[in-house]
Structure 1
Amino acid sequence: MSEKLQAIGDTISAGLPGAVTGFDIIHRELNVYANAADIVKVVRFLRDDPNCQFWSIIDVTAVDWPQRERRFDVVYHFLSPKQNARVRVKVTTDEATPVPSIISEFPGADWFERETYDLYGVLFTGHPDMRRLLTDYGFEGHPLRKDFPLTGFVEVRWDDTQKRVVYEAVRLNQEFRNFDFLSPWEGTDYRLPGDEKAEGGKGA
C-alpha cells in the first residue's frame, strides 16, 4: 500500500508543480499539501488523472490553530474506488481570506463547505448559497473555533406557549468562565436519600 501511495503522491506532485507544495504518508495515509488559491485545479487533477481517479468526495472540514497567522487548515478527503485508496488534501487560510469553492468540480461539496463556514468561519468564494447550515438564524460566532466559549452565552429552545423559538441567557450554578477552584460547587437546597451517611450517621 505504501508503494502505491508513494506513486500516487509522485504523480500528483509532478502533475501540479507550484499548486502542490508537497506530500507525505503518515500511518499509511496520503496527505497532500496545496496552495489554497489552486484548490480547484488540484481537485480536478485528482478526479481526472488516470493514475488518480479520486471520483468520490468524502468530506470537507477544517482544523483551527489559533496561534498561527493562517489559523485554519481546510481539509478535503477523497476516495478512489479504482485505486482503492484515499487522499487527504490540506490548504491553509486565515479568518479573512476566502478559499475557492470546489462545487464546480464536486457538487457534493455544497453542504460540506457550508458546514465548514458555519462551524469555523472559513469563507468560500463561488459558493452559490453560503449560509449557515447547523446553527440557528442570528447565531453569533463559530462553535468549533478553539476560542469559542465552551458554554456559550445564550441557549435556544422552542417555547410551546409562544409557538416560536426563543433565546434566553444561559444560567449556570457555577461560573465556568471564571471558575474559582477553591470555592465549593453550589449544591441542591433539598436532602437526598443517603445524605445522613455523610453527616456521621445522624438521622434526617
Structure 2
Amino acid sequence: MTVLHSAPKISSNEGVRATLSNALGSYLVKAHEEHGEILLRVKRESIEDVLRLLRDDHAYQQLMEIAGADYPSRPERFEVVYMLLSLTKNHRIMVKVSTDEATPVPTVTTLWPNAGWLEREVFDMYGVLFDGNTDLRRILTDYGFEGHPFRKDFPLTGYVELRYSEEEKRVVYEPVELAQDLRQFDFMSPWEGADYVLPGDEKAATSPVDEPKTTEKKGDTGAGEKTDAKAAEKVSKGSPAEKGSTADSDAPEPTESRPDRKPRKGKSKDTAAATEPATKPRATRSRKPKGDGA
C-alpha cells in the first residue's frame, strides 16, 4: 500500500525564491540560490518581522541554527545567518543580515526560545550585539576572557587560558600555548607549484647553465690508453676478464644429450596427444528389452 506524505523525500527550490521574494517585499535586499539553497538577505532592523512571517505564513517552523561570519574588508564586517527548516515541506532556507561592531541586531528570542543560546554563541565568538536579549553572556570562552576568538584579526598569542589543575586542586590561569604553528594552506596543485618560495627551497636555488659541457674528446670522459692500463692492473690473474685467459674449472663433464626422435610415419600429427598410449574402450553389453513372451 502506497503511503502519501505531505513532505517529499527530496525538496525542490522551484518557485520558492519568487514566492518568498514577493512575500517579503520591502524587507528584502537580495534573494538568490547558491549551492542548492535559497539565500535571503534582508534589512537588519526587520529581521524579527521577516522571521515571524516565514514561520507563520510559509511554514518554516524551526530555527535550526544562528551562525556568524567575519569579513573585515566590508563596512559592515559581520554577517548573522539564520537557518530555518520547514517540517511540512522538508525544505531549508537561510536568512542573512549584516552589522558592525557597534550596531546591535534585534533579538529573535520572542519567536524561538532556543535563539537565546545561539545569540550568546555569536556574541561570544564575534562580538555581535543583540538588542532585546536579556541574558547576553559569554557561553563558550572562559571567565574574564577578553576579545572574540572567531574574528579574523584576533591574535593567536598573548592571551591566557584557564584549566582545572589536579595537582593544585583549583582553577589556574596559564599563557595560551599552540599545539602547532599556524600554517597557511593555498590548496594549489602540487604539479603547478606555488608562486612564492617555500621554507627551505631557497637552498636549492641554482644559477642557470649558459653553456652545457660536452664531451668531444676522450680526455673529457676519462677514457684512453692510460685509463685502460690502470684498469688492467686491477684485474685479478686468471679471471675471465683477462684477455686470452682460460680459467680452469672443476665442473663435471657435460652429459650426452638425448638423441632427437625420428619423425613419425603416416598422416597423424606429432602432438602430445598422439604420443600417449591408446586405451581400449570398455566393452558394454547391450540389453534387450523384455517382451511379453520373454
Match among 171, 183, 189 for residue 165 of structure 1: 171
Q: Judging changes above 3 Å, is the alpha-carbon distance between structure 1 residues 11 and 154 closer, same or farther for their aligned structure 2 residues?
A: same
Query: Number of paired residues?
Result: 177
Residue in structure 2 matched with residue 7 of structure 1 by the alignment: 15
Cα offsets for 1:31-77 (capped at 9, x unmatched): 0110110000010011011xx21001110011000111100010010
Is residue 18 of structure 1 aligned with residue 26 of structure 2?
yes
1:109-128 maps to which residues of 2 (within 5 A)?
109-128=115-134
* SS of corresponding position for 2:69: strand
1:139 aligns with 2:142: no
Q: Which amino acid aligns with 1:148?
A: F
Identity %: 46
- For 2:30 and 2:157, the matched residues in 1 are separated by 39
Q: How does 1:18-167 map to 2 (within 5 A)?
A: 18-49=26-57, 52-151=58-157, 153-167=159-173
Q: 1:45 to 1:161 in 2, by over 3 A?
A: same
Change (3 A) 1:171 1:127: closer
Does the 8 Å contact 2:11/2:91 carry over to 1? no
Distance 1:175 1:83 in 2: 46
Instruction: Give 1:158 shift.
Output: 1.1
Letter in 1 for 2:79: D
More strand by share: 1
2-side partners of 1:150 and 1:81: how far apart? 41
Determine which structure has greater relative contact order: mean sequence separation of CA pairs < 8 Å that are 6+ residues apart, divided by chain length.
1
- Residues 109-161 of structure 1 show CA distances to partners (whole Å, capped at 9, x for unaligned) of 11110000000101001112000001111000001111112345212111234
Contiguous gaps of at least 5 residues in structure 2: 1-7, 183-198, 201-294
Query: How far is 1:172 from its partner?
Result: 7.1
Counterpart residue identity of residue 106, structure 1:
W
Q: CA deviation at 1:4?
A: 4.5
Point out the more displaced range, 14-23 or 121-130.
Answer: 14-23
Tell me which stretches of 4 or more aligned residues in structure 1 moved more than 6 Å.
172-176
1:75-105: CA deviations, max 9, x gaps? Answer: 0101101111100001000000000000101
TM-score, normalisation: structure 1 = 0.78
1:107 is displaced (CA, Å) by 1.3
Tell me by how many angstroms 1:171 deviates. Answer: 5.6
Task: Name 2:220's counterpart in structure 1.
Answer: none
2-structure distance, mates of 1:74, 1:150 = 24
Q: Does the aligned pair in 2 maintain the 1:153–1:170 contact within 8 Å?
A: yes
